[in-house]
Amino acid sequence: MSDTDGHAARASTIIALALTSLVAYASARALRSAARDFATQQSALLATMTALERRNAEASETRRRERERNAREKRAWDSRAQKRMSGEEADAETTDSEKLGRRRSATEADEVASGRTSGATTSPRAIGGDDVEEGGDDGRDVRAFDRDASLGTPTKRSLTHATSWDSNRDETETEIDDDAELRTQIDVVDSPLATKFHKRLDVSVEVDPDVQAFVGSPLPRALSKSEEHKGAMERANSAFLERASTMSTPESSVHGTASSSKNGQTPWPATPDASMAVSFKPADRSMGRELFQRVVDADVASGESPRRYTPPRVMGAGGSELQYEKVATEMMETLGHECEEVCLMLEYALGLRDKWLFDDSEAACPVVGIPNKSETLATKSDHAFKMIDGVVHVYRPGENGDLELVHAPPGTATNFFHDLHALLRVQSYGPSKTFCHKRLNLTEQKFNLHVMLNADREFLEQKQAPHRDFYNVRKVDTHIHHSACMNQKHLLRFIKSKLKREPHELVIYRDGKFLNLREVFESIGMTAYELNVDTLDMRADKNTFHRFDRFNLKYNPMGQSRLREIFIKQDNLIRGRFLAELTKQVCSDLEANKYTMAEYRISIYGRKATEWDNLAAWVLNNNVYSENIVWLIQIPRLYNVYHAGGTMKSFQQMLDNIFIPLFEVTVDPSSHPKLHTFLQMVVGVDMVDDESKPERRPSKHMRVPEAWDVQHNPAYAYYAYYVYANLYTLNALRVSKGLNAIAFRPHAGEAGDIDHLCATYMLCKNIAHGLNLRKSPCLQYLYYLSQIPIDMSPLSNNSLFVDYHKNPFPQYFARGLRVSLSTDDPLMIHMTKEPLVEEYSVAAQVWKLSAADLCEIAKTSVLNSGFPRASKKHWVSDQYWLGGTRGNDIQKTNVPDLRAHFRDDVLETEKALVRRGVVQARQKGREIKIRG
């Protein structure tokens, strides 16, 4: 047993030694393999760093050559400008040394503008024009539009200077010849301040404060960066720097030191930041791509598979991260001279809108639903008003007892027509058309790519929103005429019911006697049994195409004007009782639906001063109230008809009948108590008629309304100015008394000349139709930058002016214009008792609109409407006025945050491009002068 045990012990020892040797051998092999791998990685790292240094050297050389080329172009441009100025001015005695110094300063100025000259930097806030707070450098109110006079940009004067328009005309108006022929000449020259720029600029010191103020002068409101975009930029930059500070570089991984982008080092192992593509500047995005390329090169050199790119993320309203794919474009570091000219012209046009548009941000909200009839009326104020040259001016006693002007329009009719002709020249300038056409096409293609890449993500995001879909998001019919708010079947049933239940009701006075309802139908040879939709003959068909006169005749049931007067007029023998009952039935359908609202447009003709009182009494006496409707007043442009009929002597009489009662009730509510209550439910004024009628373009000096006693109708722009100017003064008075403002929201661009859209661009808060924007890329781009609401009615247009397949709505929508769908005239066009849903349904089928598209259009209709702020907060978002995701709550709108962010990002990109062109032009001392 002992020998056996000894042999076993020796065998165990031998086996243990063998296993130990084997383990040692394997460990040695592993160490040798690891050493080889480490050497390979070090070699790959060295090769990658060498390639990176070579690329950086090549990029530096490219930038140096670009700087030299820009300097040469600048010197050549300055030389041409100097020669032109020397030929025009008498004192062209400049020495060679002065010319050489000017060229050297110009070269240095170009380097400062490119951001590469040390010691002379311009803050982004100064360039963006965001550094003006409560007042400008001269202490004036930030809302007052003021600019360098040499730029030809209009000035919005304070009310205390309203009486000195004519004396200041030469300093503030655009230079336009008397010749009405449309010619465009645009001179780009050095301004006096540009000479100061060249003389004072020194690369060894900071930019002169006067020059910096010149570069950073206030921009139009449409070009100012939104708070949403600025906040997103700050958050994205902070997140990126915080993440970069925690990333190690190859140097830190070897020596144990850390560096980040904060101290000038570039993070090594990083893909582009999650929010970089959302809100970073173009330079930051290019840095992100460079980082991404480094990672790919390093992975390939080490033999590993390249890492996947992480798509950018958007923070949703609920704080959730949403990934999406984005196609981004970068602006060139320097724009061409022609682009700079166009940007200056666009800024000028945007400034015109700032000059004329009324700011209603401090106005009270309109009343929706049942008004408070028992409220105590305010006492009469000490305001006095007077009609001067067709426009009401409001006065108030001063300290010394004399009347002082307190409310007046922003300019005279001559000022307005000057600006109108200037805007016409801007939109007809060839380079402006080219620039705007390209930018609009780019925004359209961006939308198409966004939908192609992210449609599924948007749909999944919508699925996650509980309870909401297209049917239960709020939709507003922003353009519907009250007389045609019902469909034909509804009207037919109502007529039959009245014939059956109230045949002996006296309804009309004709040929010296009163007629009851049964006698009226007997006079036209019709009984209740014979009535049907076809006999009503109110359907718009192919015979109404380009025939506005025939379309208007469709308002007459069976072609009988007496039936229109009885059933769809509020000023008749029965005081509009039938129309009130019809309206309340339609409102009941809206309330049953809950999610559909309407803005009814009802007429004031201006034939009599009592029309306002009659309309207010009709609404209040018949209790035509609903939480689902608000009111607009439409003014037909029918002066020529009234003048031909002998009921009106001049255009001034029409203005008096429309506006004098409104000023009377605003100053003294007890003078028209019902009208005072009704006006609080009115959100806007419309202006309607056939725009295709030929008209004369208004000249700069038109006769005043009191002298307009001729038979032909004034031009559209003439109507627009006098309606808007009186509304401007009225709104200023109403806001000062804590009342609601009334917006100007006319029909425009359905047909006719482009002048109509130029006038409404300066004056209007909304427009209806806007079809002719497709004929003017420049105006369309201006409407896009200003985000002017456009209420479109494709089915109505299909019956009158534009075939449905040729309607520009889908193109406007893709490009980002603020468009919504509306019905216009359900009585002539639609067949169901939900005409707005019918409008959406046809559009969705013909243009293949997705659920996200339909909900976005519905959300836009709410924003375009005149419903109170509290309603919009409940229907859209608590911050509905903001852009991007902050102004969208998917729980209320069913609009994906991806879509909301995309729209805001593209708009901010276009604004940034125009801002950049303006800044570069100002840094070079360029200005525009527009004259015919």
Instruction: Return the percentage of the chain with pLDDT > 70, whole number.
Output: 73
Q: How far apart (Å, rounded) are the C-alpha atoms in residues 241 and 245?
A: 6
pLDDT surpassing 70 at residue 131: no
Q: What are phi and psi of 685, to 5 degrees?
A: -125, 130
**Angle, vertex CA 544, rays to CA 541 and CA 550, nearest 5:** 125
DSSP SS3 for 632: strand
Q: Residue 184: what residue type?
A: T
* HSE-CB for 236 with a 13 A CA cutoff: 23
- The band of 150, judged by pLDDT with boundaries at 50, 70 and 90, is very low
Distance CA 226, CA 881 (A): 10
**Other Cβ atoms closer than 10 A to 888:** 28
Q: Is 747 annotated as a binding residue?
A: yes
**How high is the pLDDT of residue 64?**
86
Q: How far is Cα 880 from Cα 250, in angstroms, rounded to an integer? A: 47
Average pLDDT over residues 318-329: 67
Instruction: Please say if the pLDDT value at position 145 is more than 70.
Output: no
The residues that bridge with 931 in the sheet, in sequence order, are 185
Whole-angstrom distance, CA of residue 677 vs CA of residue 894: 36
Top-confidence range, 145-159, 517-531, 786-800: 786-800
Average pLDDT across the chain, whole number: 78
- DSSP class of residue 263 equals G
When pLDDT is cut at 50, 70 and 90, the band that residue 192 belongs to is very low
Question: What is the mean predicted confidence (pLDDT) over 323-349?
Answer: 85
pLDDT band at 3 (very low <50, low <70, confident <90, very high): low
Which pLDDT belongs to residue 124? 38
- 511: its two tokens: 């040929």
Q: Which amino acid is at 134?
A: E
CA dist., res. 908 & res. 228, Å (int): 10
Query: Could you tell me which residue, 116 or 676, shows the higher pLDDT?
Result: 676
Task: Please tell me what DSSP assigns to residue 931.
Answer: E
61-68 mean pLDDT: 84
**Structure tokens given for 343:** 């940007």
Provide the pLDDT for residue 312: 53
Rounded to whole angstroms, how far apart are CA atoms 601 and 633? 5
Q: Bigger pLDDT: 671 or 146? A: 671
Please tell me what DSSP assigns to residue 804. Answer: G
pLDDT given for residue 169 in this prediction: 39
Give the pairing of strands 313-315 and 321-323.
antiparallel
Higher-confidence residue of 122 and 337: namely 337
Tokens linked to 27: 């460990």
Q: How far is CA 901 from CA 230, 277, 450, 896, in A?
A: 13, 12, 11, 9
Tell me the two tokens of residue 162. Answer: 């309203």
Max CA-CA distance within the chain? 149
- Residue among 910, 930, 605 nearest 787 (CA): 910
pLDDT in tens, 827-836: 999 999 999 9
Segment 507-524 mean pLDDT: 90
Handedness of CA 478, 481, 485, 488 (dihedral sign): negative
pLDDT tops 60 at residue 577: yes
In this structure, the strands spanning 747-748 and 743-744 are: unpaired
Quote the CA–CA distance of 233 and 216 in Å, as a whole number. 20
For residue 467, what is the DSSP state? Answer: S
Domain boundaries, the chain: 2-88, 227-309
For residues 799 and 829, is the Cβ–Cβ distance under 8 A? yes
Secondary structure class of 604 (helix, strand, coil) = coil
* CB-count exposure of residue 9 (10 Å: 0-12, 13-18, 19+): exposed
- Which has more confidence, 150 or 371? 371
The pLDDT score that the predictor gives to residue 44 is 74
CB-based contact 487:831 (threshold 8 Å)? yes
CB 932 within 8 Å of CB 421: yes
In this predicted model, what pLDDT tens digit does every residue of 276-295 receive, in sequence order?
333 333 333 333 333 333 33
In this structure, which amino acid lies at residue 683? V
| Per-residue pLDDT reduced to its tens digit, 579-588 | 999 999 999 9
CB atoms within 10 A of CB 434: 15
Q: 3-class DSSP state for residue 433?
A: helix
874 is in an annotated binding site: no
270 within 8 A of 295, measured Cβ to Cβ: yes
What's the average model confidence in pLDDT over 513-531? Answer: 89
Helix (H, G, I), strand (E, B) or coil at 529: coil
The length of the chain is 932
Query: Does the annotation place 824 within a ligand binding site?
Result: yes
Catalytic residues: 769
Check the annotation: does 5 bind a ligand. Answer: no
More confident site: 104 or 387: 387
